Amino acid sequence: MSADLQTWSTLFTAMVLQAMPFLVLGVALSSIVAVVIPDRWWAWVLRRHPAVAIPAATACGVLVPGCECTTVPVAGRLAERGVPFAAALSFALASPALNPIVMLATAAAFRGQPEMVLARFLASFAAVLVVGAYLYALGVQPPPRWGRHEHDHDPPHRRRALRLAAAAQHDLLHTTGLVALGAAIAAMVRVVLPDGFLPAIADNTALAILVMAGLAIVMALCSESDAFIAASFVLLPPTAVLTFMVVGPLVDLRLMIMYRSNFGTKAAGLIGSLALVAAVLCSLVVGRVVL
């Protein structure tokens, strides 16, 4: 085995192994949320004036673990039931970006750096609020032809435990493959990049931030595992690493496909561009203050 292939396979294996326990924990909790908490509860919490509903939706996301596979379709479903779209989407963005599992994983990946956990929380929270407020101000409403998620297909008589296991299996199938893809790309980036590349852009914070934002979009990592991959970019400025973790859960290639299938092309484009700008700006500000 060549040296590069040996290194790639070691890094790939390390990232997959490190991420899997957190991924399983996150999938289990998000499945519980998807099955146990009825839609009408979300509608009751969020069907209020947007000035209240958007922060409330974001706060719900902080408390409720959910992966993008679950929360984006839930946002569409909530909006169908009368919840302001901006509030519904705020929840969909906040849950994968801010939930306790993500923060736990970030703390584990950045051991001895609690400021990184705080910075991730603050920057993600602010970015979600900004996106929600902008969507409300612009009056964005997706066309009424949203796709449905597999979780909705379960007949009501199915036993709850079975539905829970089925939801967990579905999410695991989706996210495990994506984690493997992200780890493969991240390991390749580490191996293929010339030795001097990361140290070179490390001196240019603006460039490093843009590179990491781009990587977050391309790699499309699960939010419960992205911290472990972010932590591997040890030479980059902390703000650039923070940007990677804030951008990824809000906008990446996989999410763009989900946004489009759930909200239509125009709304997806708007959400994606808004989320990217908000995530980068909030990371910059928070990174400057906290890190």
Partner 1 sequence: MQRLSGVALVALGSALVVVAVNGDSLLYVRDTMTWPLIAAGVVVAALGFAGLVNALPIHHAPRSIVLALAAALVVLVVRPGPLSVDTGFGYDLESGKVLTSFTIPASAMVGPGASAEAIDAAAIELHAGQFAFAVQQFPLEFEGVAVRMIGQFDVVDGQPTLVRFRVICCASDAMRLSVRLAWEGETPEVAAWVEVIGQWDGNADEPSMAVRGWKEIPMPERPYLDLGS
Contact positions vs partner 1 (CB under 8 A): 1, 3-4, 6-7, 9-18, 20-21, 23-25, 28, 108-113, 150, 153, 162, 165-166, 168-170, 172-174, 176-178, 180-181, 183-184, 186-187, 190-191, 195, 198-199, 228-229, 231-232, 234-235
Instruction: For residue 86, give both structure tokens.
Output: 């901006």
Closest to 98 (Cα-Cα) out of 133, 78, 71 = 71
For 37, which DSSP code? S
Give whichever of 79 and 231 is closer to partner 1, judged by the CB atom: 231
Of the two residues 45 and 108, which places its CB atom closer to partner 1 in the complex? Answer: 108
Q: In angstroms, what is the minimal distance from the CB of 41 to partner 1? A: 24
Phi-psi region of 139 (alpha: psi -120 to 50; beta: other; left: phi over 0): left
For the bound state, the minimum distance from the C-beta of residue 158 to partner 1, rounded and expressed in Å, comes to 10
**How many residues are recorded in the chain?**
291
CB 32 within 8 A of CB 70: no
User: What value does the CA radius of gyration of the chain take, rounded to a whole number of Å?
Assistant: 19
CB of 185 to partner 1, least distance (A): 11
Give just the sign of the alpha carbon dihedral 99, 104, 110, 115. positive
Q: DSSP class of residue 157?
A: T
Is the CB of 90 or the CB of 175 nearer to partner 1? 175
| Smallest distance from partner 1 to CB 179, Å | 8
| CB nearer to partner 1: pick between 3 and 139 | 3
Instruction: Decide whether 1 or 156 has the Cβ nearer to partner 1.
Output: 1
State the minimum distance, in angstroms, from the CB of residue 196 to partner 1. 11
Closest separation between CB of residue 23 and partner 1, Å? 8
Nearer to partner 1, 165 or 277 (CB): 165
Q: Cα separation of 262 and 101, whole Å?
A: 25
Tokens 């001097």 belong to residue: 196
